[in-house]
Homo-oligomer: A and B are copies of this chain.
Amino acid sequence: MTARIEPIKKSRLSEHVGNILLQMIKDKVYIPGDQLPSERELAEQFQVSRASIREALKIMEKTGYLESRVGVGGGTFVREITLDTIIDPFAEFLESEDNMVMEMLDFRLIIETEFARIAAVQRTTDDLNAISASLDLMQLDIAAGGIGLVGDNGFHEAVARATHNNVFEKMLLMSKSLLNKTRETTLRLKNQPKSSLADHRAIYQAIKEGDGDKAASLMHQHICKARENARISLRKAAALSEGKQLENS
C-alpha cells in the first residue's frame, strides 16, 4: 500500500483565522457592534503571529464585516452587513464596462418607470410629503438661478423610497452614484431645469392620485428625455475628443 496522501491543509494561516472569525460572526458569537479582542490577544489565542491575524482582519475589514479604530477605545468591531457591502464592489466592477453610461441610463429607464408605478400604489402620506419637499427644493434652487440638481436627485430617491422596497432604493442609489462618478452631472447642466420640474410635478400628481399607469408613463417620458440629452452630450463629447485627436495628428 503506497502511502496515503493526506489532503493536506495547505491553506494559509490567515485564511484559516479569517474563516474561524467569520464563522463566529455567523454563529452570533460576535454580533454587530461587538468588539473583538485586540490583535495581540487574538494572536496569542490563535497561537499565530500578529501578521497573520492582521491579514485576516484586513481582509474582513475590506470585505465589510469589520471596522477598526485606533486610539483609546479603539479596536476591531463587528459591522452590520448591508446590501451596500455588496453593491459597492459591484458598482466598481460595472464601472469598467465600456458603454456603461448609456446602458445604465437604459437600466434606469426600466426601473424608475416601474418604481413610479409601484410608488403610486404603496406611497404613504409621509412619502408624498417627502416627494413634495423635493419639488419645493428644486423650485427654490431654480428661482435662485441654480439647476436644482439636489432637488432633482431628491425627487427620484423619494419616489424610490415610496415603493418601500429596500432593494429598489439601493439599486437606484447605485446607478445614480455610478453615473455621478462619470459625468452625468455635467451632462445634465444643459437641461432645462424648469421643464424637468414640470415633469416631476406631473409625476407627483399621478402618484398622489394613486394612478400607477399614469405615473409610470410620465416617468418613462421623463427619463427618456434625460437619456436623449445624455446621448447628445456624449456624442458632442466624442466628436470633440475626436476633433482634438485629428488636431494632434
Contacts and interface: CB of A to CB of B under 8 A. Distances in A.
Interface string A91-133: 0111011111001101100110010000000000000000000
Given A58-B59, A104-B167, A167-B100, A26 B85 contact: no
A14 interface: yes
Nearest to A171: B107
Contacts of A168: 103, 106-107
A14 B87 CA distance: 21
A92 B27 CA distance: 12
B86 A81 contact: no
Interface string A45-73: 00000010011001100111000000000
Contacts of A89: 63, 86
Interface in A170-206: 170-171, 174, 178
Contacts of A81: 90, 93-94
Nearest to A167: B103
A104 B110 CA distance: 15
A65 B174 CA distance: 20
A17 to B, nearest CB: 12
A85 B55 CA distance: 19
Contacts of A114: 110, 114
Contact of A94 (B63, B92, B97, B170): B170
Nearest to A104: B167
Nearest to A92: B26
A165 interface: yes
Contact of A59 (B59, B96, B106, B170): B59
A63 to B, nearest CB: 6
A237 interface: no
B83 A167 contact: no
Contact of A86 (B26, B87, B106): B87
8 contacts: A14-B58, A55-B55, A59-B62, A62-B63, A81-B90, A93-B170, A103-B166, A111-B111
In order of increasing CB-CB distance, the 4 nearest A-B pairs are A103-B167, A110-B114, A86-B90, A59-B62
Given A59-B62, A83-B90, 7 more contacts: A14-B58, A55-B55, A83-B94, A97-B166, A103-B165, A103-B166, A107-B111
